[in-house]
Amino acid sequence: MSEIQRDHDIAVRWEINPEPLFAQTEAEAIVDGVCAAIARKAELEAVELSLSFVDEQEIQDLNRQYRGIDAVTDVLSFSLLEGDEPEVIDEAGPLALGDIVICWPVLAAQAREYGHAPARELAFLTAHGMLHLLGYDHETPAEEQAMTALQEEVLTTIGITR
């Protein structure tokens, strides 16, 4: 496991080896690009978040513990901007958004299933997770349409297309 602090205060934690899909630095550059694009789009000067890459067992355990769903999923988000957590604001520092957890084996399987590059799936799941941290959701068709359109806009902005 390694942790590297990226631009925009994005801490990336690897609990599994990303290769052979990516070199770790390539994956981190994609994550950084997506998060920076969303922060600019949301007009946020500085944000802080944590992104962890885990295996199927870890994400299933988290999904069961926090959502009551005993199943593997692709991405989970834990926002610090909502819920019952005490509000801690350091006006001089970055806005702490929360944590994103991505299941690396599911990312790889979905890229194969959807017929696109793993880089696109990584960018999509990162965007999806970060938008959840900012309060976006997809509980209704209208919410899903808005969130999907924003994800695609962000990916296009950084040069990742289908």
| pLDDT per residue as tens digits for the range 94-105 | 788 999 999 999
Q: How many domains does the chain have?
A: 1
SS3 of residue 14 by DSSP: strand
User: What are 22-67's pLDDT values in tens digits?
Assistant: 777 888 889 989 999 999 898 887 888 889 989 999 999 999 999 9
Question: Does residue 40 lie within any of the structural domains?
Answer: yes
Residue 162 lies in a domain: no
CATH code, domain with 49 = 3.40.390.30
**Residue span of the structural domain in which 52 resides:** 2-157
Burial of 46 (0-12, 13-18, 19+ CB in 10 A): exposed
Single pTM value for the model: 0.86
Kindly state whether residue 118 falls inside one of the protein's structural domains: yes
Of the candidates 156, 122, 128, 161, the residue with the CA atom closest to the CA atom of residue 26? 122
pLDDT at residue 3, as a whole number: 40
In a domain, 90, yes or no: yes
